[in-house]
Amino acid sequence: MTRASLFLAAALIAFSAQAQAAPKAAKPAKPAVAAPVTNAAPGDAYYQAGQAALAKALTVNPRTGKAKNIILFLGDGMGISTVTAGRIYEGQQRGVDGESNSLSFEKLPWTALSKTYSHDTQVTDSAAGITAITTGVKTRNKIIGLTGAAKPESCASEAGTRVETIAELAKAHGLSAGAVTTTRITHATPAGTYAHTAYRDWEGDSDMPAEALSGGCVDIARQLVEAPAGVRLDVAFGGGRSRFLPEAKDGKRADGRDLTAEWLKTPGAAYVTTDAQLAALDPAKTGPVLGLFANEHLPYEVERPILGEGVPTLAAMATKAVDLLSKNPKGYFLLVEGGKIDMGSHLNNAKRTLTETVEFSKAVQAVLEKVNLDETLVIVTADHSHGLVISGYANRNAPILGLAGNEGEPILAGDGKPYTVLSFATGPGGPEGSNLRGDPTKEDTDDVDYHQNATANLPSSAHSGEDVGVFADGPGAYLVHGVVEESFIYQVMRHAYGFDAR
Position 463, amino acid? H
Q: How far apart are CA 408 and CA 137, in angstroms?
A: 49
Phi, psi of 262 (to 5 degrees): -70, -35
Catalytic residues: 126
Q: How far apart are CA 236 and CA 103, in angstroms?
A: 26
Longest Cα–Cα distance of the chain, Å, equals 143
Phi, psi of 423 (to 5 degrees): -150, 175
Residue 156 · residue 214 · CB < 8 Å: no
Angle, to 10 degrees, between the axis of helix 314-325 and the axis of helix 350-368? 30
Phi, psi of 8 (to 5 degrees): -65, -40
Q: How far apart are CA 205 and CA 27, in angstroms?
A: 96
Phi, psi of 405 (to 5 degrees): -165, 180
259: three-class secondary structure by DSSP:
helix
Enter the DSSP assignment of 202.
Answer: -
The strand pairing partners of 70, in sequence order, are: 333, 377
Measure the CA angle with vertex 219, ends 213 and 222; round to 5°: 120
Position 176, amino acid? S
14: three-class secondary structure by DSSP:
helix
Q: How far apart are CA 129 and CA 123, in angstroms?
A: 10
Position 250, amino acid? D
